């Protein structure tokens, strides 16, 4: 049995995939520690992992980021850069301090981290422990602008290295966020742009979801009525991060009211009563067992969270995507490029924009055909079980050769690479 740290940024869309991997590692008999914010530790506990809470790292609320990171903005290029600099890069040394503080008490054999949780990589650089990245999102599209943007983080990353006592000589900082050994991608080859050079570190495993996800929420009482209507079913979701219904849910409801379709809405935890009186062809709930419903859904309207996109595609359902912040505009563009759906081009569409896009998705067989093709590939990639097997391959075959008992001071001068 190995002791494995699994680190996830404290966002629902990041914790879910990493908890799925943790579940499979626990099932394989390993002692797993799940490192994340206090609001998400229950997700790790539910799959049998021991929680480790952000302490030196600021334990923030994903629904109120400015309370902890005042500079953060959601819109535009400047907002994205500040998000990365302050939240993902700027907390790396503090994350590393938390992890390093736990290591001597019960040493780790392997560090596994969300691609945006940079602290584990700093600890790996100092200790020499095996380190793997689990990327809950697709690879970023290659472009001169993207590559130039990554170099903007050289200076803040250098500060994180220095704060954690690491040498900063000869390092490409923006490359150091990811493992040099193994990167496990929650994506599939059919969803990747052709301009990506071959990288032997990458392994595509498809959607990462805990086994119990499909049964965690019961079917709503109104579902049989929806099915009985015999009309196309449109699922509308705004994910779990940005759940302001004015952005996508209300325009979708207005656009599809009384139009010969049944609309089912999940608010992602938002108060359903805030939607007011619903049209006769609309049903809503805070949470829905989407995995059980999707085989009966004709189109998914979403704000572009990658986990929700993969869930729809795995079921062969075409998408209408309206992404506004963080990675969501890029996800929307990727779905349009893949041929599996429509990019609304905005996270605040008008009812007319939603209506035209949904009509197109319903009436264009090629969208469904492409979604089915991608879904078939996703189903063959193995998901969390395949990810766990890849991680186990990084463990030392002979425990006596493990670096787990080396103290931080022994490797103070280790080259972070």
Q: Domain check: are 369 and 391 in the same one? A: no
Do 169 and 222 sit in the same domain of this protein?
no
Contact of 294 with 396, CB cutoff 8 Å:
no
- Element at 300 (helix H, strand E): strand 299-302
Q: Are 226 and 258 in the same domain?
A: yes
Give CA–CA dist 350/308, Å, rounded: 22
Q: Are 372 and 393 in a shared domain?
A: no
Provide the number of structural domains found in the chain: 2
Q: Are residues 276 and 347 in the same domain?
A: yes
In a domain, 28, yes or no: yes
8 Å CB contact between 245 and 275? yes
Q: 162: domain range?
A: 3-206+381-411
**Are 355 and 231 within one domain?**
yes
The reply to whether 307 falls in a domain is yes
Residues 229 and 190 both lie in one domain: no
Same domain, yes or no: 173 and 69 = yes
> Is 387 among the domain residues?
yes
Distance CA 174, CA 167 (A): 15
Distance CA(237)–CA(248), nearest Å, equals 8
The overall pTM is greater than 0.85? yes
- Domain assignment present for 286: yes
Q: Are residues 308 and 360 in the same domain?
A: yes
Could you state, in chain order, the average pLDDT of each consecutive group of 10 residues for the chain (417 residues)? 96 94 97 97 96 95 84 59 78 95 94 94 92 91 56 79 81 71 96 87 93 67 94 90 82 95 90 91 93 96 93 98 82 95 93 97 98 98 97 80 47 40
Does 250 share its domain with 280?
A: yes
CA distance 34 to 120: 12
Q: Which CATH number does the domain housing residue 304 bear?
A: 3.40.50.2000
Q: What is the pLDDT of residue 329?
A: 86
CB 68 within 8 A of CB 53: no
Domain assignment present for 7: yes
In terms of domains, do 106 and 246 share one? no
Q: Which of 390, 341, 338, 36 is nearest to 204 (CA)?
A: 390
Which residues are registered as beta bridge partners of 3?
31
The Cα diameter of the chain in Å comes to: 69
Is position 416 within any domain? Answer: no
Cα–Cα dist 81/96, whole Å: 22
Distance CA 71, CA 55 (A): 21
């Amino acid at each position: 049995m190995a002791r494995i740290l699994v680190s996830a940024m404290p966002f629902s869309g990041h914790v879910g995939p990493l908890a799925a991997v943790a579940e499979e590692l626990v099932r394989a008999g390993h002692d797993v520690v799940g490192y994340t914010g206090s609001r998400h530790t229950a997700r790790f506990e539910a799959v049998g992992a021991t929680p480790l809470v952000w302490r030196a790292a600021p334990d923030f609320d994903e629904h109120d980021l400015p309370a902890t990171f005042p500079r953060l903005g959601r819109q535009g290029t400047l907002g994205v850069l500040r998000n990365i600099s302050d939240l993902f890069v700027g907390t790396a040394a503090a994350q590393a301090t938390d992890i390093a503080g736990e290591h001597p008490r019960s040493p780790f054999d392997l560090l596994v981290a969300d691609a945006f949780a940079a602290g584990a990589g700093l600890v790996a650089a100092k200790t020499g422990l095996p380190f793997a990245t689990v990327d809950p999102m697709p690879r970023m599209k290659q472009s001169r602008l993207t590559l130039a943007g990554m170099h903007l983080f050289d200076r803040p990353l250098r500060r994180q290295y220095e704060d954690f006592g690491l040498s900063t000589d000869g390092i490409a900082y923006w490359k150091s966020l990811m493992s040099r050994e193994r990167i496990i991608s929650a994506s599939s080859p059919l969803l990747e742009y052709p301009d990506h050079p071959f990288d032997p570190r990458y392994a595509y495993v498809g959607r990462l979801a805990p086994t119990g996800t499909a049964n965690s929420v019961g079917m709503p009482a109104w579902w049989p009525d929806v099915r009985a209507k015999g009309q196309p079913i449109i699922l509308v979701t705004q994910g779990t991060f940005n759940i302001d219904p004015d952005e996508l849910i209300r325009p979708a409801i207005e656009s599809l009211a009384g139009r010969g379709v049944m609309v089912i809405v999940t608010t992602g935890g938002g108060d359903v009563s805030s939607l007011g009186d619903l049209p006769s062809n609309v049903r809503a709930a805070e949470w829905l067992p989407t995995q059980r419903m999707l085989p009966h859904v004709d189109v998914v309207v979403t704000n572009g969270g990658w986990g929700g996109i993969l869930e729809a595609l795995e079921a062969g359902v075409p998408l209408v995507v309206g992404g506004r912040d963080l990675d969501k505009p890029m996800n929307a563009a990727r779905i349009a490029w893949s041929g599996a759906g429509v990019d609304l081009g905005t996270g605040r569409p008008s009812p007319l924009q939603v209506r035209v896009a949904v009509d197109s998705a319903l009436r264009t067989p090629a969208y469904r055909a492409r979604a089915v093709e991608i879904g078939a590939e996703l189903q063959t990639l193995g998901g969390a079980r395949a990810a766990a097997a890849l991680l186990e391959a990084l463990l030392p075959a002979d425990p006596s050769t493990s670096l787990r008992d080396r103290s931080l001071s022994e490797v103070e001068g280790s080259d972070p690479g």
